[in-house]
Structure 1
Amino acid sequence: MASAVPLVLLALLLARSGPGGRSMPDEGRHHVARGTPVAYGHRPPTSGPHWPQPERWGVHDEPVPPEAWVHNLEHGGLVILYRCARPCPELLGLLAGAYQTFPRSKWGHVKLLIAPYPRLSVPLAILAWAWIDELPGFDRERLLRAYTAHVDRGPEDLP
């Protein structure tokens, strides 16, 4: 019986471990002039200097500069980045469907930005402020767990 206690505790810890992913160093959050390139310590960045205006939430067909979407992370939003070797309409459809069905933030909209990121070392990653989860492919439940665990929890409580 006593040997079962550590196993039960381990199972509880694993069940509470949340959406997966890992914490990243907080590289600060000051603003730089729009258009200014930033040399981030990590790629893709999950924090750090960024442009003064966040990018539009939603699905983007073209890459969005990290200096723009890091501001979205600061506002408690999440960013899903993807890398496709060739056009990937099926993946884009799945991501757009996720965006349409994810819960709204306390501000009344889905705080999620989805964009291609050619420098990504894995097919898919979801980012929150100072946190990242890298995925080998689309996993709606894992993305949803990450979103619900991190939405509206950035250092700035803004829409």
Structure 2
Amino acid sequence: MKKSVYDFSAVKNDGSEISLNEFAGQVLLIVNTASKCGFTYQYEGLEKLYQEFSSNGFSVLAFPCDQFGNQEPGTDEEIKQFCDFNYSTTFPLFKKIEVNGDNTHPLYDYLKHEARGLLATKRVKWNFTKFLVNRKGKVVRRFSPALKPEALTSEIKRYLNEAS
């Protein structure tokens, strides 16, 4: 088993593969997103968090996913255009992935193993499930899709203030 999120790589929305080690030393909020979900408005809150804390070593990593009610049907290019046009997002956006099932992205296997959901379930229940990662690349919390990003401000500050 890998030891931290920094041991994984992922393909960005533009098709370039990057090592998540590029985010080493940062606090991360990793979120599975969707453009046609009741929680899509959370893109705005995610961008606000990113703008507020990115200069302190924080990043949001968005992983579009179409596994919940076909709420992310677009191509990677359409998803990027949607995010740019509607929310002016500037945080890293990755290619569409699966977060459950046989084709689960390895990063999400790791996230789900490290921070289980209600009743110790591993399965991601819906779009906008959030995983908070400390500066050492360890998953510290999983948050419900219903929890608005701005509600995480104090948690993010807490981990930003920890020594790396």
Q: Same fold (TM over 0.5)?
A: no
TM-score range, shorter chain: 0.3 to 0.5
More helix by share: 2
Bigger Rg, which one: 1
TM-score of the pair, normalised by structure 2: 0.42
TM-score of the pair, normalised by structure 1: 0.43
